[in-house]
Structure 1
């Protein structure tokens, strides 16, 4: 341990302060390789132990920088939100779309409007039912600078998709007012923390882009915690490294009126009511800031895209239903064939 600490000197502190995620990762890998090379002769079979010691030093230095100075690795204060960029209607041929970028996290969400026939059929052990709103979340390897096979949906994608779907659901219009099946697909283009909350923001924007009359925008933010038992720091809009090396990942989503979804992951035994209250207050301030940016980009629903299907409802005399359908469905099939519409 002493040999590792001697070689590391102040290099850990320098790496922690590198803002760019990729450059920081490369610098850390270079440091690990350098230390391993220097200690190879003296400790030929201790590569794993050396790497663990470096990781421990890196974690301690990262946490101490925040607790002692209130300064994060990207230079932000504990309450500061990363720069936000929003592009609504970015894909002209879709029914609705939005690109939401927060720091090095970016989500592209596409809205597709369908008819009742497009409802998702859920066949579970308890019951069978249909959903007219669903959100699919995709986290491809390239979004974190990796290569790999894009295969089956994994647990992370299912969990993040459900969280984002739950956050947006409360603001959706009643089916009678907007009789469409709504599908949102979130493609994570780049990720450095809180991609599920970026999906919530981009999903809300994409719904308004598609002309869905949602009650209001929904924004999400991920909060973090660094504590050593005596000192603590609540972090707004955490980075991936702050999630990995911190003690809490607390996701909060909601509108200006209230919270629509929360998810809390703790790496410590528990959290005090005072700390939770502070985290909620800080999350509220961050959420209001993000909602302001979203409202500046698109404040009310667009007109429904010309590429989206049109749904018309007509009332007919119940006694005429049989005549409309015809023998063996002959009449209604002919109408569908001639008009190329679904009835």
Structure 2
């Protein structure tokens, strides 16, 4: 690009020396008129060479795409990244996965809604060899970013398949023709590098048009900046191998014919498929797993009437869950709960806590718990999220325990069996019928041993004590005293 511009500047300087009015050439033309005339001449030369000879400014054939180089995983700690280079146009795209807290609130005419896919496009001055102030997004950044957003969005998985908020940032490091389509290609690769299950890869190409008053025309594939400026149409097409996902046309003439449109789409299809083939050399399909630095998200469904219980008064309960487990929690109005954390242990802890709020423990099931308080008559164990239960002193061990503090300490991890609720609605737990190493239920084994000794089986309804048939001695004693 710079070599060509230098050559044009040399030609312009020679022409100006011969034609522009100066003291030495008082009959020359006005300098302002010369500049406009030279631009017209430059456009005429470029356009006629394309129409008559099929020669483009960089020597390519009309339907040829510039050399493409694609790379993925270019940054070590990002969730996904890609470098896409096509000729003198280059985009670095970074993909970041987040939770529901990262969704964007959009205040639209139809009302406020949340968007889980964000694409930001940055076009710094240095990408075209210039200097300048770098402020907020302008018309160009918003328009090009939205075009790329529309191209990628139809291929994204549903929220049920992939419960992540996705943000793409495209940094244009060099530009000479369609950096928005380079953003589409780089975005597709970055998403696949991040492990996002795209339905199909997406590529994009910018087409140009030279249309003469005589009706002669030429369609150009992968146009340069000069061809965009001096041509009659900038026609951008993005899509997959199956079809088009996004299309944009800037046109400078009064209109185009159906023949031109058909040829432009057909030529764009061939170019788009060629670009996809080149992208496949870097990555053909999404990674099977997310990167090690990406957050892990799991979602569960809870009854809508239980949402209030999870949140708590003023958000007290959910804040406590987040603080103690280290997981991020997002609750939808339909009862979908998304739990995110960098470690699976944190997700499991939050999930168990929420499950304990919305459900009840099952009698006879074994749970892992933690001793929260030791008292004279036993120990209270937190075993089902926020639920605590009592392990009576008689249920701590098969051996007689005189003082629970001799066996248990606060904070100790134990395995307990949920026996059910007593007459007063209190939770009953047992440690002695559970193998503390493996978590195996020993009830059947213990009863078999008791049967061998001629002893009655344990009854979980009576705290594990043997069943009394027809009352006991104390009952008979009470009867005699009554008599």
Question: For this pair of structures, how many residues does the alignment match?
Answer: 323
Hey, what's the Cα distance between the residues in 2 that align with 1:265 and 1:325?
Answer: 51
Tell me what 2:340 maps to: none
Alignment of 1:53-72 (within 5 A): 53-72=37-56
2:227 to 214, 237, 242: 242
Q: Secondary structure at the match of 1:36?
A: helix
Q: Are the equivalent residues in 1 in contact too, given 2:201–2:285 (CA < 8 A)?
A: no
Measured after TM superposition, the shift of residue 134 of structure 1 is 1.5
Q: Secondary structure at the match of 1:233?
A: strand
Hey, what's the Cα distance between the residues in 2 that align with 1:56 and 1:281?
Answer: 31
Hey, what's the Cα distance between the residues in 2 that align with 1:22 and 1:76?
Answer: 17
Alignment of 1:245-260 (within 5 A): 245-260=230-245
Could you list the per-position Cα deviations for residues 270-323 of structure 1 after superposition, in whole angstroms to 9, with x for gaps in the alignment? 111111111111111111111111122111112211111111223456676555
Could you list the per-position Cα deviations for residues 193-243 of structure 1 after superposition, in whole angstroms to 9, with x for gaps in the alignment? 011111111111111011000101011011111121332111111111111
Tell me what 1:110 maps to: 94
1:141 to 108, 119, 125: 125
Q: TM-score, normalised by structure 2?
A: 0.64
Structure 1 unaligned segments of length 5 or more: list them.
Answer: 1-20
Q: Secondary structure at the match of 2:77?
A: coil
Measured after TM superposition, the shift of residue 33 of structure 1 is 3.8
Query: CA separation of 1:24/1:332 partners in 2, compared to 1, >3 Å: closer, same or farther?
Result: same
- Asked whether 1:313 is paired with 2:303, we answer no
Tell me what 1:292 maps to: 277
Hey, what's the Cα distance between the residues in 2 that align with 1:317 and 1:153?
Answer: 43
Hey, what's the Cα distance between the residues in 2 that align with 1:34 and 1:175?
Answer: 63
Tell me what 2:382 maps to: none
Deviates more, 1:197-206 or 1:323-332: 323-332
Hey, what's the Cα distance between the residues in 2 that align with 1:28 and 1:217?
Answer: 40
Could you list the per-position Cα deviations for residues 27-53 of structure 1 after superposition, in whole angstroms to 9, with x for gaps in the alignment? 323433444345341368822111111
Tell me what 2:396 maps to: none
Hey, what's the Cα distance between the residues in 1 that align with 2:257 and 2:82?
Answer: 38
Measured after TM superposition, the shift of residue 325 of structure 1 is 3.9
Q: Comparing both chains, which one has the higher relative contact order based on Cα–Cα distances under 8 Å and sequence gaps of 6 or more?
A: 1
Q: What RMSD in Å do the two structures reach over aligned CA positions?
A: 1.8
Query: CA separation of 1:190/1:277 partners in 2, compared to 1, >3 Å: closer, same or farther?
Result: same
Measured after TM superposition, the shift of residue 328 of structure 1 is 4.0
Tell me what 1:8 maps to: none
Q: Secondary structure at the match of 2:159?
A: coil
Could you list the per-position Cα deviations for residues 237-264 of structure 1 after superposition, in whole angstroms to 9, with x for gaps in the alignment? 1111111011111111110111101111
Query: CA separation of 1:125/1:328 partners in 2, compared to 1, >3 Å: closer, same or farther?
Result: closer
Tell me what 2:8 maps to: 28
Q: Are the equivalent residues in 1 in contact too, given 2:70–2:281 (CA < 8 A)?
A: no
Tell me what 2:250 maps to: 265
- Asked whether 1:132 is paired with 2:132, we answer no
Hey, what's the Cα distance between the residues in 2 that align with 1:279 and 1:112?
Answer: 35
Hey, what's the Cα distance between the residues in 1 that align with 2:182 and 2:43?
Answer: 26
- Asked whether 1:232 is paired with 2:217, we answer yes
Q: TM-score, normalised by structure 1?
A: 0.89
Hey, what's the Cα distance between the residues in 2 that align with 1:60 and 1:23?
Answer: 20
Q: Per residue, is there more helix in 1 or in 2?
A: 1
1:215 to 199, 207, 214: 199
Greater Rg, structure 1 or structure 2? 2
Q: Per residue, is there more strand in 1 or in 2?
A: 2
1:278 to 228, 250, 263: 263
Q: Are the equivalent residues in 1 in contact too, given 2:89–2:177 (CA < 8 A)?
A: yes
Alignment of 1:33-112 (within 5 A): 33-38=13-18, 39-41=20-22, 42=25, 46-112=30-96
Hey, what's the Cα distance between the residues in 2 that align with 1:165 and 1:328?
Answer: 37
Query: CA separation of 1:317/1:223 partners in 2, compared to 1, >3 Å: closer, same or farther?
Result: closer
Tell me what 1:194 maps to: 178
Tell me what 1:179 maps to: 163
Tell me what 1:336 maps to: 322
Q: Are the equivalent residues in 1 in contact too, given 2:221–2:268 (CA < 8 A)?
A: yes
Q: Secondary structure at the match of 1:297?
A: coil
Tell me what 2:151 maps to: 167
Q: Secondary structure at the match of 1:311?
A: strand
